[in-house]
Homo-oligomer: A and B are copies of this chain.
Amino acid sequence: MAATSAASAAGGPVADLVARARDGQARAVARLISLVEDGSPLLREVTAALSPYAGRAHVVGITGAPGVGKSTSTSALVAALRAEGRRVGVLAVDPSSPFSGGALLGDRVRMQEHALDPGVFIRSMASRGHLGGLASATPQAIRVLDAAGCDVVLVETVGVGQSEVEVAGAADTTLVLLAPGMGDGVQAAKAGILEIGDVFVVNKADREGVEATARELRHMISLGSGPRSGPADEPWSPPVLRTVAARGEGIDEVVDAVARHHAWLVRTGELDRRRSARAAGEVEAIAFGMLRERVGDLRGDTRLDALAARVLAGELDPYAAADQLVAGITVRS
């Protein structure tokens, strides 16, 4: 009986989708990403079905202020990686947009040249109405592309805000893009992206001010080695490269730097360390979600409404009200 039921589960719609995704079928990949993005009831089953095939892709985050040419650079990187025969997944993450799917993101037209290449999967993701939703959906979507056989997954974020930093946390290697005169070192430091960059790229290097930007950036990097710098005996020094992505100039050097960083991650054990921390974070988040479900939806509790009314009347402060709400709940570890 158990064997039959296992076989039936293995032949279920999720297993079928995963098999087709691993077979390179773009529609199955898209469907799986939609399932994880929407927080489908099948999420758990999807995650379990994908997990055995995940962990092989090199996940590369691409971040930088609007206007530095992230979309153009991503497209150029895809072309260079495809020329090496590597399968590439692209996730374009826009925390400021409530829309997913790509059609509404104008910049995505730059990716159209790769739309018909069966070795490239492209997907846009947006916040879909809940803060923190992207932070959990992004690793899940990466897992889909990873299990589908992508050698490299590029995760492009739209801005340089805190949510971008969190999304970049899902990457093995983070590329930080700047452009002369707009994203100088001080701006980068302010935005908190100096700490997360493994490779820095000054794009639009045919413009005036590229020297100054690169110099300042190297100076800022030299001032502090972030937590991502690795073991003391073999630290990683983030290179500062120059590109003109619109003409494909300097892109091979970026691909090369990304590959060198990956080799360094593997050699020093940093890859495992980073991925362990990410896995622990994901397990913890799921565990807290489970605990929350066990407590039940407090919002439907009539006690909550009564307590809120007393807060509104000034009889109770919100903390005192919360005390009363959780007083009847036992949590024991």
> Smallest distance from the beta carbon of A40 to chain B beta carbons, Å?
13
Given A272-B312, A312-B276, residue A330 in contact with residue B329 (CB < 8 A): no
Given contacts A51-B311, A161-B95, A279-B312, contact A331 B286 (CB under 8 A): no
Instruction: Answer whether residue A160 sits at the interface, using C-beta atoms and an 8 A cutoff.
Output: yes
The oligomer's copy count stands at 2
CB <8 Å contact, B48 and A320: yes
Chain A 47-77 near chain B by CB (<8 Å), digits 1 or 0: 1101110110000000000000000000000
Which chain B residues border A44 with CB–CB below 8 Å?
319
Given contacts A131-B131, A275-B312, A317-B47, contact A283 B307 (CB under 8 A): yes
Q: Name the residue among A166, A292, A326 with the largest chain B CB count within 10 angstroms.
A: A326
Contact A291 B329 (CB under 8 A): yes
The answer to whether A280 and B299 touch (CB under 8 A), given A130-B162, A159-B96, A333-B328, is yes
Interface string of A242-283 (1 = CB under 8 A from B): 000000000000000000000000000000100111011111
With A48-B317, A51-B317, A317-B47 known to touch, is A308 a contact of B286 (CB < 8 Å)? no
Q: Determine, out of A97-105, A201-209, A222-230, the stretch whose residues face the partner at the interface.
A: A97-105
Q: Is A174 an interface residue (CB 8 A)?
A: no
Known: A47-B317, A292-B288. A191 touches B283 (CB 8 A): no
Complex Cα gap A54–B159 (Å): 36
Question: Does chain B have a CB within 8 A of A284?
Answer: yes
The verdict on A173 contacting chain B, using a C-beta distance below 8 Å, is no
Q: Does A35 contact B (CB under 8 A)?
A: no
Q: B127, B166, B304, B331: which contacts A162 (Cβ < 8 A)?
A: B127
The residues of B that contact A192 with a CB separation of less than 8 Å are 98, 129
Contacts of A317 on B, CB cut-off 8 Å? 47-48, 50-51
Partner of A131, one of B51, B162, B279, B320: B162
Interface residues on A, range: 35 or more
Distance between A274 CB and nearest chain B CB, rounded to angstroms? 10
- The answer to whether A298 has its CB under 8 Å from any CB of chain B is yes
Contact check, A331 vs B291: say whether CB atoms are below 8 A apart: yes
Q: What CA separation (Å) do A294 and B305 show in the bound complex?
A: 23
Tell whether A309 is near chain B: CB-to-CB under 8 Å: yes
When C-beta atoms are compared, the residue in chain B nearest to A311 turns out to be: B279
12 pairs, A vs B, C-beta closer than 8 Å: A131-B135, A131-B166, A276-B308, A279-B308, A281-B299, A283-B321, A284-B298, A288-B292, A290-B322, A290-B326, A291-B295, A329-B331
**Closest 9 A/B residue pairs (Cβ):** A96-B161, A286-B322, A280-B308, A51-B317, A279-B308, A287-B322, A127-B162, A48-B317, A330-B332
Name 4 extra pairs, CB < 8 A, besides A291-B295, A291-B331: A51-B314, A51-B317, A99-B190, A295-B333
